[in-house]
Amino acid sequence: MNSKGLLNKLSDYFDMGKKKRKKNAKELKNLLQVLKNEEKKLIAKCLTLSSESKQKKINRKVAVIHAKRKKGLNVLKKLINT
């Protein structure tokens, strides 16, 4: 699944009711792990590129993935602590 699909799936989890989110906490955790791996791959790819414009484009993708992942981690922590 590509980054956009993963981000859309993560957004779906944020919009669920509290009971459904608790029920799907394990899936959310797995999705966050996949996003983390995707973020690492993009960072590694960015380091190998020589074109500054491509680096900026990838850095923007990394920033979006990072922000969504952090938001997901906060939701997951709330689920676990509740």
Rounded-to-integer distance, Cα 6 and Cα 20, Å: 19
Q: Residue 27 contacts by C-beta under 8 Å, 6 or more apart in sequence?
A: 13
* Segment 36-51 mean pLDDT: 91
Amino acid identity at 47:
L
* Segment 53-66 mean pLDDT: 92
The helix (H) or strand (E) run that includes residue 40 is helix 25-48
Instruction: Please report the pLDDT score of residue 3 as a whole number.
Output: 81
pTM over 0.75: no
